[in-house]
A and B are shown apart, each in its own frame.
Chain A
């Protein structure tokens, strides 16, 4: 299966791949007859098949020490019982006692989408099993080298340039393209959700807010994507939106990689819009037909309207990306989602084939280990709380009917 619609310069997969969106009749010539899924071993008295399958899966893994804790899960290091050198991350979904409606939406979304998406730049879900007390456990690939946010913030310890940014953005772009090709919106793209594998590969993780966009006529919630990475249409309360929301987030990540601090970091939703107006331009009916009809549209004073920034502005701020890179950045940050480029267009952009070539993943800078780093990490975590970075804007969804 294609991992990118275009030529990739990835050191490991230098294949020319053209993924035509051929509306081919999905003809499975012989597939049904050699369908996988042979019914598992012999029946065993008194225990259901599903239960046995689950136990078989559970038996395969061993949980070791705790790695970290997230909003709705605790993550452990683990390994295969049969192979102690194999490393895995086992994400145990916390049973939320407050939430009485069964399996939580976070968990359902993450499991549902990761089960379907298999791509080198998307965190791999190897298995799911439940422990006796009805806890869900996700067996994920182990990604030991932190996340992009750590690298961005460690401006003293880690140096990188355009070639590295290009490598990271390429991996992110392929992940997002693949999600969209599979009709999945991620809806929480940010440096903190881009984890790094031992070999330097970037992996898109955290699908707790993802959804499929199968039905274009059904409204969705606009309370998604962490504020700094949230596009203007969601800030204006749009209920019908597309993959363009993820492309905006990608654009803000691109900008942040270059600046080494968040590009537009508002304290409130209104402040966020204000910063977008300043940095990119004020949304108007002229540059974005229909914008004034959005529910949460804020009318701006004509006099205070800031015209959409031109290329010069971007060159002065993001010059290191070069004129071609700046061109890509601008098309990802178009105010009008219909004018924003698609994930496919991102990957088809000239920037990838212009100099410099993206750094091969094995040469990408990595989070350092050891004691000194530990100190850095702790400092970072402290700062995180102070500047409100840990804020979970999007986690709590508005669960009105038909609006999630």
Chain B
């Protein structure tokens, strides 16, 4: 006999099957990705140089001494990659807010970015470009479709072409799984249950002998969230307390829950319970007691998990990077400019070429014009990459 619980449903989800990790497996995946991208960058730069030397004029060749490029190219570390991706996750949230997209669109876009960069490095694909693609894809997958043209017009320096060019890469990096399970719905359900309990209408675990009135009274006596906070005196106070905790937990759900590795490490239920835990621990413990009244290893485990998750959620980088952070990021981006994979800079060009191949026109022989045009596009996007923290992003779209 089996029961289909939320937990069972979650276990069949791709989020569980493909996108759940231990801290160790997550770290190892990221360092593998980083190492392999760095190899790619070095190889590409090497071949570009030898390419130049081989075909180029003597002057060009003599300018560059053949040397070991791996010594010259200073690649990003995993930490630097993480910082950069994290920054663009924040940007994605800000743009989504600017466009007034619903929470799900924004939350899904951020997870798309985080998932994509588990198997891809910013050295290969710049997060600035992936961000727009992720946001646009999530408007489609979360049923909030806006036409590409109007979407692109809302983002600075963005063309419809540049939004969809990386979409294919993105979907491949997402392993063609588009569903993201968020903690929001669970939180709403939990808060509704808590409110029902506070109104004397709720039910505890069936084995518990407490009446709803008893529970209602007990709730008034729950320890205050902080030592400094006032004690509740009435059921109305309890309701206000629940609402306050709800508000705080919701904020966590919109910021640190998205920006940390919470989705990779914990289930949606664990995340919303931990957000509530962070907002009001005694209240959350009370809630858990109504569900699992008796001490058990299961309960101990749950509390331990929630504490760890709450710690992660509480530690998160702010959704609004300060000046020092921006400075550090600018430094990383400068470094990135020198270690970007030159073969993957021009996503629009690559995308066009692939599409062209599919139409069966040119085999591999791109004609001169196309090559020239692509070269120009590439140079243009290299220039743009430089002022990445300049006017494009420093100015808030308000």
Contacts and interface: CB of A to CB of B under 8 A. Distances in A.
B4 interface: yes
Contacts of A54: 172
B225 interface: no
B120 A36 contact: no
Contacts of A31: 11, 16, 20, 267
Given A35-B22, A116-B12, A404-B145, A102 B172 contact: no
A213 to B, nearest CB: 10
A112 to B, nearest CB: 4
A220 interface: yes
A212 B104 CA distance: 12
A33 B120 CA distance: 24
Among B25, B36, B104, B269, chain A packs the most CB atoms within 10 A around the CB of: B36
Interface of chain B, main secondary structure: helix
A182 B181 CA distance: 11
Interface string B219-252: 0000000000000000000000000000000000
List 10 tightest A-B contacts by C-beta distance, closest first: A133-B358, A43-B36, A26-B269, A19-B4, A128-B176, A49-B119, A2-B4, A26-B7, A102-B164, A112-B178
Contacts of A33: 22
B355 A133 contact: yes
B273 A25 contact: yes
Interface string B252-293: 000000000000011111100100000000000000100110
B357 A35 contact: no
B44 interface: yes
Interface in B3-26: 3-14, 16-22, 25
A158 interface: no
Given A23-B193, A36-B18, A102-B164, A16 B141 contact: no
B168 interface: yes
A46 B39 contact: yes
B64 interface: no
Given A102-B164, A116-B179, A214-B104, A36 B173 contact: no
Interface in A47-85: 47-51, 53-54
A289 to B, nearest CB: 25
B354 A134 contact: yes
B175 interface: yes
Contacts of B6: 23-24, 26
A396 to B, nearest CB: 13
A273 interface: no
A360 B308 CA distance: 51
Interface string B121-154: 0001000000000001100110111111000000
Interface in A369-404: 399, 401-402, 404
Contacts of B148: 100-102
B298 interface: yes
A39 B3 contact: no
A271 interface: no
Contacts of A181: 4, 9
Among B36, B143, B148, B175, chain A packs the most CB atoms within 10 A around the CB of: B143
Contacts of B328: none
Contacts of B36: 43-45, 48-49
Given A28-B270, A102-B136, A132 B102 contact: no
A111 B176 contact: yes
Contacts of A16: 1
Among B9, B33, B40, B351, chain A packs the most CB atoms within 10 A around the CB of: B9
26 contacts: A17-B4, A20-B5, A22-B5, A23-B193, A24-B6, A26-B5, A26-B270, A27-B7, A27-B302, A31-B267, A32-B22, A32-B265, A35-B22, A43-B32, A46-B43, A48-B119, A51-B172, A108-B140, A115-B177, A132-B357, A133-B354, A133-B358, A134-B355, A215-B102, A402-B102, A404-B144
Contact of B175 (A32, A53, A101): A53
B66 to A, nearest CB: 20
Contact of A49 (B2, B10, B120, B273): B120
Contacts of A20: 3-5
Nearest to A220: B143
A50 B104 contact: no
A162 interface: no
A298 interface: no
Contacts of A130: 168, 171-172
A32 B35 CA distance: 25
B188 to A, nearest CB: 10
A28 B7 contact: yes
A322 B37 CA distance: 67
Interface residues of B, number: 83
B7 A401 contact: no
A401 B119 contact: no
Contact of B145 (A43, A105, A133, A212): A105
B160 interface: yes
Contacts of A113: 179
Contacts of A18: 1, 3
Contact of B137 (A23, A103, A133): A103
A19 B44 CA distance: 55
Interface string A10-21: 000001111110
Contacts of A29: 298, 301
Given A25-B269, A37-B18, 6 more contacts: A27-B302, A35-B16, A35-B25, A46-B44, A129-B176, A132-B354
A402 B35 CA distance: 42
B29 interface: yes
Contacts of A37: 17-21, 25
B268 to A, nearest CB: 7
Given A31-B16, A43-B32, A214 B172 contact: no
Contacts of A214: 104, 185
Interface in A104-161: 105, 108, 111-113, 115-116, 118, 128-130, 132-136
B78 to A, nearest CB: 14
B320 interface: no
Contacts of A51: 172
Interface in B162-204: 163-164, 167-169, 171-173, 175-179, 185, 189, 193
Contacts of A101: 147-148, 160, 164
B141 A38 contact: no
